[in-house]
Amino acid sequence: MDNDRLFSRSNNEELNVSYTFLSGLKVDLQFANFIEGEALPGTGVSPENFWDGVAQLVGEMVPRNRKLLAVREDLQNKIDAWHKSNGAVADDPAGYRAFLREIGYVVDRPDDFTIEPGTLDDEIANICGPQLVVPVSNARYALNAANARWGSLFDALYGTDAIAREGDLAPGKTYNPKRGDEVFARAAAYLDQAFPLVDASHGDVVDYGLDHDGDNVSLMIELGDGSFARLADENAFVGYIEQGDTCSILLRHHGLHMELVIDASKGIGASHKAGLADVIVESALSTIQDCEDSVAAVDPAEKIGVYRNWLGLMKGDLRDSFLKGGKPVERRLNEDRVYSAPDGSSLSLKGRALLLVRNVGHLMTTKMILDAQGNEVGEGIVDAVVTSLCAMHDLAKTDGLRNSTQGAVYIVKPKMHGPEEVRFACDIFAMVEQMLGLPAQTIKIGIMDEERRTSANLKACIYEARDRLFFINTGFLDRTGDEIHTSLQAGPVPPKADIKSEKWIASYEDRNVLIGLECGLSGVAQIGKGMWAMPDDMADMLASKAGQPNMGANCAWVPSPTAATLHALHYHEVDVFAAQRRRHNEATPGLDVLFSMSTIAKDSLSAEQIARELDNNAQGILGYVVRWIDQGVGCSKVPDISDVGLMEDRATLRISSQHIANWLLHDLVSAEEVEACFKRMAGVVDQQNGDDPLYQPMVGNFENSIAFQAALELALKGAVQPSGYTEPILHRRRVELKTG
């Protein structure tokens, strides 16, 4: 760093933060060193221009941010007052809808338009498939997710409950050939679906080979009776690799690839009658590297770690080393996959998922930068600057480990409330482009449709982002949490399991697709759907998650690379663009059904039902919060009250805490009952984490366990949290633990 610009330093004792003054801002010294020593070099942006740009951005955008948050609070106060005077929405739906228009919560729909975000990468516009979400704070997970573009179908079937684990098919400690035969049969069935043979099945094949005729190569498929079969779509054969005893055959369907690995000389291939050693499936087309809900970063040092990993991904040099089975292993980004095409030319396919980055929302602030008045700056504003700066290293590439071949930066923006906040985010991106010298509309925006004001005004939100939109995506848990909080005064909400079947949920998911199609997203941008939260339950995922592409979703979230491999099969089963054409002219559900979440009578549930629901909520909150606070883990597989592992982040926490807050407000439970339940469930969570050497038990230490107190506070004070968000309490309590 240029020492002549270090005018003075000051300390924040709470987190031992040292500041330097740059362009009129107080900047955390560690953060300044990261920017100037690691992120800026190679971008062509000078430190002086960078900090001047940040100062201008802070000066213009921080006041707007505060005003938008004040609008949220004002609208919520008015909605609370309406419910106190008028009761539940169902008592006067027309009056409620008119009221929301009167206060500006619902705005006029814009005239018809079509988005024009420019040319986006194929993984966004032209190919449909799974999408992973991973905390970028964990380098190993981030690399695994980036490399999840290709996955082993044999491993995914053999190693999960996609194939039954009982009786003769039990995996066992050594290889079970009967289970292996079932893997072969299932793989053949999937190949028959995606790459059917004429009058034959892949289960009948005894040899996959290549026939060379000069520069041209064709696929030879021999059956058990000595005859030969051909693909129903002979254009599906698009490439191959020949290397010694191994031959790889590349097939393509619906834009997605599968690679048949043939090696009869050893291992699995030796036990397959056609020598098929594996089927490699193109799996996670895109991955959201998350800075938000799955990350616990409460101070500058932790946040710099988040940024450093994203920078490594964009440069292509991120590494992580660890021990596996007592042996050192290093993770790095996969190289591209190079094949020979049937006409003799070369075919190169990406070895990595297209990486998107989720910034934080508009609510939280950060100590990394303080404005001229000493106030913390919006963390989302800093995220926009830094994640875009890091992505410039990828934009400068012309070969090697590239992310976007179209020169785009893909930022997912969560938790925006309505079109004015979407416009605010787009204005931030425009200023960031200007300060970094990027062409206009380089930074693309993904709108998370997870707040009710955005859902109610989705077309207007898309309109505000029409020149940089790359996706819209639903999120059931956050959306339900916001639904409960927005209508907190309306009355007691049903149990969580009943909420899932509410008609407003179906209308919310349908509106997202149909409005997206209405605005021209098909073949241009993604329409996405939410997470499969049970990473150990792949059989049910295979049975049900095809519903998302079938309703017209280009992508849907999965919790692991293995889940991505299995979910990719659904995009061979379903032609998403055909589904979108089928749905294009469907009527869009109206606002009445969107606002129709029901309330229940206080006496409609038995004491046993209330206690069971409270136990379930409390256990889930404690199981997640104890890892967040004590270990800084923002996303993990948390066992529920029935010991079923659920992949959880803050969205799960939001709905559970708001559910308890609602029942507290309407006297279904008392604060004393909630506290007693949390203490009882703490014993369950302690027992579930008994094998974790880092775990700090809560039982017997309730007063001093910051994690327990944080979890309890989320429930008891959930009604007064802004929009029902959990971040303010979690961050404050994690800082409390870190600073003693």
Which long-range contacts (C-beta less than 8 Å, at least 24 apart) are formed by 474-477?
474/449, 474/450, 474/508, 474/509, 474/512, 474/528, 474/529, 474/530, 475/414, 475/448, 475/449, 475/450, 475/530, 475/531, 475/651, 476/500, 476/505, 476/530, 477/530, 477/651, 477/652, 477/654, 477/655
List phi, psi (to 5°) of 305.
Answer: -60, -40
H helices present in 114-252, as ranges: 122-125, 139-146, 153-158, 177-194
- Per-residue tokens: 225: 């009776």
Burial of 536 (0-12, 13-18, 19+ CB in 10 A): middle
- Per-residue tokens: 534: 């049970």
For 524, half-sphere exposure in the C-beta direction (CA atoms, 13 angstrom radius) is 19
Residue 231 has what DSSP assignment? B
Q: How far apart are CA 419 and CA 472, in angstroms?
A: 13
Q: Which amino acid is at 199?
A: D
Q: How far apart are CA 300 and CA 302, in angstroms?
A: 6
Q: Is 315 helix (H, G, I), strand (E, B) or coil?
A: helix
What are the C-alpha distances in Å from 36 to residues 369, 385, 389? 15, 14, 11
- Per-residue tokens: 30: 């560690």
Q: How far apart are CA 638 and CA 556, in angstroms?
A: 21
Burial of 351 (0-12, 13-18, 19+ CB in 10 A): middle
Answer for the pair 249, 195: CB distance below 8 angstroms, yes or no: no
Q: Which amino acid is at 106?
A: V
How many other C-beta atoms are found inside a 10 Å radius of the C-beta of residue 488? 22
Confirm whether 358 is a catalytic residue: yes
**The one catalytic residue among 149, 252, 337, 358:** 358
> Facing residues of 216 across strands?
213
**The one catalytic residue among 121, 649, 650, 654:** 649
Residue whose token pair is 């999408």:
131
- Per-residue tokens: 119: 């040319």
Distance from first CA to last CA of the chain, Å, rounded?
32
How many other C-beta atoms are found inside a 10 Å radius of the C-beta of residue 407? 16
Answer for the pair 298, 735: CB distance below 8 angstroms, yes or no: yes
> For 53-88, what is the HEC assignment?
HHHHHHHHHHHHHHHHHHHHHHHHHHHHHHHHHHCC
Catalytic sites, residue numbers: 358, 649
